[in-house]
Structure 1
Amino acid sequence: MYEQILVPTDGSETAEMAIEHALDIAEKYGATVHALYVVDTDSMSLSLGVEQVDRIRQGHYGEMGEVRERAEAATNVVAERGRERGLEVVEHVSAGRPHALIEDYAADNDIDLIVMGSHGRSGISRALLGSVTERTLRSTTVPVLVVDARADDRD
């Protein structure tokens, strides 16, 4: 049923919860897990400027090496945990608009399932901050499993 599972990660606690779900499903079906970190260049452009953001989109991080390190560390967590379970894990880092790159990556890699976290924001908070998860749900035809970060608060 699932051969290729994508788990977008940003290294947050919410992403951690999604990672565990993705790995559990991958283990059950013997699927390959794809760990994707997207450097959100839209949010970075306000502080860096267009020229620096264009360089990052092209993979030239320059003095922004810490961004690349943070991205690689986040995908590495998925890779290490997956390999501990005997799973094949593909790591990928890209830069741009997160929901668009998640959609593109899913289409380009024949992804069967996207597993991602949701911060559970609502109302004005979600309207102001936007939601990568919500935008991904709207833009892709690939099934998406949303892991609600508030689930731990309900126990």
Structure 2
Amino acid sequence: MYERILVPTDGSDVAEVAIDHAVDLAEKYDAEIHALYVVDVDAVSFGLGAEQVDRIRQGHFGEMDELEERANDATGAVAEAAAEHGISAVEEVRVGRPHAVIADYAEDEDVDLVVMGSHGRAGVSRAILGSVTERVLRSTHRPVLVVDYERED
């Protein structure tokens, strides 16, 4: 039923819960996992100049080591969880508007299922940007499993 499962990740606790679900499904269906981190240029452009944003759009992080490290850590966590269960994983970092990049990736890679958290960001940035998950649901015709996360007190 599922051959390719996409896990968009931002490295948050919510994404970690989605990873667990994706790995479980991949193991059951002998599927490949695709880990996708999207650098949201709209969000990072507030603190950067136009030249730096253009370089990021081209995939050149340059002095943005922290951003590149965050992306690699997030996709690496997915690949590591997959490897622990003998599941093949593909890691990808892309630049753009997260919901559009996720929907396009799912289409381009013929993904059978997208597994993502109900929300990753919190606070003001989430309110300004809106829910990526909600936008993905409206932007793709691929099945999407939305994993909710309850913070333990």
User: How do 1:51-62 and structure 2 match up within 5 A?
Assistant: 51-62=51-62
TM-aligned CA deviation for residue 49 of structure 1 = 2.5
> What is the letter of the counterpart of residue 101 of structure 2?
L
Residue pair 1:120, 1:149 contacting (<8 A) in 2 also: no
Residue pair 2:26, 2:32 contacting (<8 A) in 1 also: yes
Unaligned runs of 5+ in 1: none
2:115 maps to 115
User: How do 1:19-98 and structure 2 match up within 5 A?
Assistant: 19-98=19-98
1:142 maps to 142
Residue pair 2:37, 2:94 contacting (<8 A) in 1 also: yes
TM-aligned CA deviation for residue 130 of structure 1 = 0.2
1:102 maps to 102
Q: Which moved more, 1:112-121 or 1:100-109?
A: 112-121
Residue pair 2:12, 2:120 contacting (<8 A) in 1 also: no
Residue pair 2:33, 2:87 contacting (<8 A) in 1 also: yes
- Closer, same or farther: CA 144–30 of 1 in aligned 2, 3 Å: same
TM-score (ref. length: structure 2):
0.92
Residue pair 2:14, 2:120 contacting (<8 A) in 1 also: no
- Closer, same or farther: CA 85–56 of 1 in aligned 2, 3 Å: same
Q: Distance in 2 between matches of 1:100 and 1:65?
A: 24
TM-score (ref. length: structure 1):
0.91
TM-aligned CA deviation for residue 51 of structure 1 = 2.1
Q: Distance in 2 between matches of 1:38 and 1:106?
A: 13
Q: Distance in 2 between matches of 1:120 and 1:97?
A: 15
Q: Which moved more, 1:84-93 or 1:111-120?
A: 111-120
- Closer, same or farther: CA 15–120 of 1 in aligned 2, 3 Å: closer
Residue pair 1:120, 1:148 contacting (<8 A) in 2 also: no
TM-aligned CA deviation for residue 127 of structure 1 = 5.2
- Any idea what SS the aligned residue of 1:63 has? coil
TM-aligned CA deviation for residue 129 of structure 1 = 4.0
Identity of aligned residues (%): 67
Q: Distance in 2 between matches of 1:39 and 1:126?
A: 15
Flag the structure with higher helix content: 1
Q: How many correspondences in the alignment?
A: 151
Q: Distance in 2 between matches of 1:134 and 1:101?
A: 14
Q: Distance in 2 between matches of 1:45 and 1:79?
A: 29
- Closer, same or farther: CA 67–34 of 1 in aligned 2, 3 Å: same
1:16 maps to 16
